[in-house]
Amino acid sequence: MASFRTLDQAEAAGKTALVRVDFNVPMQDGRVTDDTRLRAALPTITKLRDMGAKVVLLAHFDRPKGERVPSMSLKPVVEPLAKLIGAPVRFGEDCIGEEAKAAIADTPAGGVCLLENLRFHKGEEKNDPAFAKALAELGDLYVNDAFSAAHRAHASTEGVAHLLPAYAGESMRRELEALDAALGNPQRPVLGIVGGSKVSTKLELLENLVAKLDRLAIGGGMANTFLHAQGHDVGGSLCEKDLADTARKIMDKAKAKGCELLLPVDVVVATEVKPGAEAVVRGLDGMGADEKILDAGPKSVERLIAAMDASKTLIWNGPLGVFEVPPFDKATVDAAKHAAQLAKAGKIVAVAGGGDTVSALHHAGVAGDFTFVSTAGGAFLEWMEGKALPGVEALKA
């Protein structure tokens, strides 16, 4: 793994640390409805406070597109954050300039100050050097603790990192270590599970993974495109038939690279997608024209579980079926529960990420049992695709 500067290498006593966090939290009527992302920042905030630093938090919220939109202010975050920290949180009415400087000056050593939404300024998303410089003027060192925003080359994620001594925060460090254990320098054999509805959204991901994994299981709607490419009739299922050639190229590449592709060997079908719909298990042939493949079948799950048992590392992105609509959640839930058991027993390193994946693991009740679950959707996907993430590259030692 490339080495990253961490807080253990930082001299922070008596200094002002600018900390990029992900506080793009769910809100309703001006109140935070889920504080998961606030909690994720606590280890870094606590560590810096214990080191004697003044902690200045930089964050974005929603998409104000460079305009000051009152409903997109970060001010509602102050109260719940202060409760979690157990100390007052000062709020700056702007993230640069005199108002920001005044708020920081009012914050004692070891104190915490949250600045207003970075995206109220057009310079943030444009990575404008002048805006990055204005941010850098506020502190002595920079800490990035927002892996979820690391795939964006914005002023607060990349620009400012080149102007101040830059370090990975605790949440960022954990994420990078987990991802390295999953794909960078994993224990082999490595099994990947990629699901979701469309091949077209995960082409680069599949291309990268077949070159790195020992086995790759493909599920969800995208598996239908591969089954169609193999000559199977998928009835009325979601299927990108125009990508059949692409699917065959991926299968050829997997074979050339020695990556075993695990496609469904049986499927669960129904004529409509609704809770409690009459579901039938079918082999890969003999589907009715009005039947839709909505989940992987029991034999497919059995084979996937056997592959998990034979693996040392598992990386998972995307569900195996329409898990939001029971009974089409069975394959995803059964596979997730087995992976969680192996991870808890220390038999496998199980890393998962992506919005639907996190929801599916919570649905199965096992999100807390995986080795690591990344909540960083876009950044996690781009990292799995093998892309360099600007916010991470800027932290390399």
Query: Residue 347 in 3-state DSSP?
Result: coil
Of 97, 110, 377, 378, catalytic: 378
Task: Exactly one of 97, 110, 236, 355 is catalytic; name it.
Answer: 355
Catalytic residue among 15, 68, 133, 198: 198
Count of other CB atoms within 10 angstroms of residue 289: 7
Q: Of residues 37, 47, 49, 215, which has the active-site annotation? A: 37
Q: Is-catalytic flag, 37?
A: yes
Q: Is 378 a catalytic residue?
A: yes
Give CA angle at 171 (192, 184), nearest 5°.
35
Q: Is 355 annotated in the active site?
A: yes
| Element at 90 (helix H, strand E) | strand 89-92
Whether residue 198 lies in the annotated active site: yes
Question: What is the edge-to-edge ordering of all strands in the sheet holding 349-353?
Answer: 260-262, 215-218, 190-194, 313-317, 349-353, 372-374
**Are 356 and 127 contacting, i.e. CB atoms less than 8 angstroms apart?**
no
Of the candidates 172, 156, 129, 153, the one whose C-alpha atom is nearest the C-alpha of residue 5 is: 172
**Which secondary structure element, helix H or strand E, spans residue 32, and what is its range?**
strand 31-32
- What length is written for the chain? 397
**Helices 220-229 and 244-257: angle between axes, nearest 10 degrees:** 90
What is the C-alpha separation between 146 and 127, in angstroms, rounded? 16
**Buried residues in 153-179 as b, exposed as e (16+ CB within 10 A):** bbbbbbbbbebbbbbbbbbbbbbbbbb
Tokens of residue 271, six digits: 């004529």
Write the single-letter amino acid at 173.
R
CA gap 349, 370 in Å, rounded: 8
Query: Which one-letter amino acid corresponds to residue 347?
Result: K
Q: How far apart are the C-alpha atoms of 191 and 216, rounded to whole Å? A: 6
Give backbone dihedrals phi and psi of 321, rounded to 5 degrees, phi first.
-160, -170
Catalytic center residues: 37, 198, 355, 378
